[in-house]
Every structure is written in structure tokens, then in C-alpha cells.
Amino acid sequence: MAADVSGGALAKTSGISASMLSRIERGLVSPSVETLERLAQGLHVPTSRFFSDQARRTDFCHVRAGHGVLVDRIGAVADYRYELLGHLLSGNLFVEPYLVTLLPGADPYVTFQHPGLKFLYFLSGEVRYRYGGRTAEVRAGDSLLFDATALHGIEAIQTQPVSYLSVVFTLRE
């Protein structure tokens, strides 16, 4: 049960009796799907939360500063350096966090395109970033979040050095 919700309050907001909630908590009765839906609404969580195996989700990744894995990505743009900052193996969400650094010879590149959502957080430099038909002037401290299926990338490098955190989220097949 959520730490900030009492059993009585949950029973009341869920529309079930406190005694029924107590019997469910002690494993004396198996709740119906309707009861689970009511409990989920009372807790403001999806019903699927009751069916996930949280105990088996034990992935944890700690990468010390400067110790990410340098990745030579297939089809990588010349002089764009990718340092993988972690990975998780469980669950159905695939997350790729990278520290991207544009080396001195890097050129603008606006035709990245791939499945998933992408989050960028700029650490240094100033660029003009293209997303489909839009552009944004971006500098250190700015962030972008978008559907990565549209063409995107740096259209112009205005101030170097340029580095940014890039996190791509995709569902596993």
C-alpha cells in the first residue's frame, strides 16, 4: 500500500469495506478484477501494477564519471563521440543513455531517424537543432524531448565545444 494512504482512506476512496481490504492484505481472499480496478483507482496507479513482478526487477547500473563505454555505432556520424552511460536488461522498456561529444571535425547532421522517444539535455555549446520542419536555438542547460521517428539533428554548430546527454526510449519487441 502507498505509504501516504491509510487502509481506511484507501477503502473509502476505493468503495470497498475496510474489512475486505484487510482480508485482501492478509491473503485470506482473492480480490475480483473489479475490486482490483477500484483499488488501483484509489491508489492512482494502473491496474497492471498488481500483476508486475517488482521483486525480479533488480537491474541497477552505476557508471563512474569518465568510465562509460565508448561505442562505435554502426552508421555513426564522423566525429560524434558516443559514451554509453548505462543499460538495463529487465523490463519491456529499452533505455540508451549516451554522453555525446562533438569532436573538432564534427559537421552538422540532420537526418537521424529511428524508433522511440528521445530526450536531449545540452551540457555545453550552442547549436541550431532541426526536428522535421522546425528548428530551435539550443545552448547549455536547454533540453529537447521528441518522437525520434521524424528526421532530426544538429543543423548548425554555433559555439563549441558541444556536448549533450542523449537518452533514447524504445519498447522491446
Write out the residue limits of the CATH 1.10.260.40 domain(s) in the chain. 7-52
Answer with the residue of higher pLDDT: 62 or 154. Answer: 154
pLDDT tens column, 96-146: 899 999 999 899 999 999 999 999 999 999 999 999 999 999 999 999 999
Q: What's the pTM?
A: 0.65
* pLDDT given for residue 22 in this prediction: 74
Cis before residue 161, ω within 30 degrees of 0? yes
Instruction: Compute the radius of gyration of the chain from its Cα atoms.
Output: 23
Q: Options 2.60.120.10, 3.40.50.1220, 2.40.40.20, 3.40.50.80; which CATH number does 69-171 get?
A: 2.60.120.10
